[in-house]
Structure 1
Amino acid sequence: MTDVLTLVFRTFMSQTDVRTELAVSPPSPTTSSALVLGDRSVSRSVLLLAAVTAASEMGVKVTFFTQTQIQSLPVCLQKCVPSLSPQSLKKIKFSYPRTVVELLQQVASLHESTNTPPSLIIVDGLEAYLRGPGDDGSHPGEQSCAAHLSALLCDTAAFLTELLKQRSSSSAPCHLITSFQSGVDSGQAGGEAPATDPILDVLDRYFQVRCTLDPDRSYEAVAAGLKELWHIYLSGTGMTEASSTKDSEDRPPVAQEWQLLIYPDGLMEFKSA
């Protein structure tokens, strides 16, 4: 599920990087899903950038689920997208389910609207819906809940894809992006989190691409004048399928590693690694 995420990375690519192939690649013909794994605040910024990019660059409707009220655009978005139009923002619908039960109900009712269904579903902070305070995610009931929620999200995205196709044969499929902060330290080489988090093991069965955020605390990052530097690793079955499709020669190459640069003033930029 790299169409939306790589469009975000390319759109907000560092000015010092070579900016090529900025246009989004043709969307895959089927529903696709991605799991952004890492720090909650950084993941949320990436999800908001994805929502804004899908609405403004792709012109599609977005449904954004989160527990935290969004009163105004974060500084990073104001810095990255200073000229965002009100019309683009109107394409993003923010919903604030407080519990996993409310989230399940709202996701299940997405198809009931008589308006054009969303082409992108975003869920911010799955762990907040699946776990209580201080919970390590080891209870079988939480794993079952994670499977139930993931299956509903994927089935809903597939159903909305069919609705979009019925309205227009040229419509893109409904994409799905969620974020999750594991209770297990992911500090392994290559950005791969150890497969010891039971909930993460469940989520990986449903989401085709894992987008792992790995912090870089080296001296070089500090010397470059950055507030934060993150490595982004894309992996999963969705990456394998994208590289083996018949029309892959017609698509721009998909980088499997990126860097996220966060400056002291809040500006965010991406670089292909």
Structure 2
Amino acid sequence: MEIKVGFEIAYAAPQPTPMVIMLAIHPSRRRDIIGAETIVADPDVPIHYYRDSFGNICGRLVAPAGGVTLRGRALVRDSGLPDVVTENAGQLPIERLPDDVLIYLMPSRYCETDKLADLAWSLFGNTKPGWARVMAICQYVHDRITFGYAHAHHMKSAFDAHEQRAGVCRDFAHLALTLCRCMGIPARYCTGYLGDIGIPPEPMPMDFSGWFEAYLSGEWYTFDARHVAPRIGRILMATGRDAADVALSTSFGRMNLAKFFVISDEVKAA
């Protein structure tokens, strides 16, 4: 399967403004890109790329006065298979976890394990450790939260989403991964492309998606508390402790979003 992905995002700025962007496809999927991924700025300002501490590809630029439009596109080869399901994947004792995985047990900006630990143990303490426990958490979050773009707020945390019972995909991911951490399962936030492939098209405009990965039996596995069912065509862009680590853009000065357009479509054979 081949998937065409891309975006056009415009920002208005009253004065030259430094930015960090995280819009490139993740290094783990670079080998799947057919040809080359292109990301350009209009006006044509230089973009300097580097890897952050989580291994994500970041770009630095200075948006000129008036603003900047960022455009990206890529053709990505994909297996066409749904997310991997490994029901016998087990939960590792914390003392056996690799050093670099321990950070994904800790609280982070949007994931307050201290506020949700008692709830997590009361709900999932008797579930089978491992895959079944993560799926029980996903189902709980799926049933607890109502999805809607009107419920989006950049400051909403996992605890807030649980109490308000409404949110967007990042809130589903934040709450589920926080409950996993409370139960001793390392979990990290993911962002990327997820088009309507293999499902009926959704009427809402395409957006980037948020999901999470849990560390079981020595591997990272994909989970999605919003959709629960495995999905086809997921293309990872970045991972981190929570959404604060994978922001699409960070501006060091005043900027306003003027346009936001995303595509992720299967390329049908001629």
The normalised TM-score by structure 2 is 0.26
Greater Rg over alpha carbons, structure: 2
The normalised TM-score by structure 1 is 0.26
Query: Which structure is richer in relative contact order (CA contacts within 8 A, separation 6 or more)?
Result: 2
Bigger helix fraction: 1
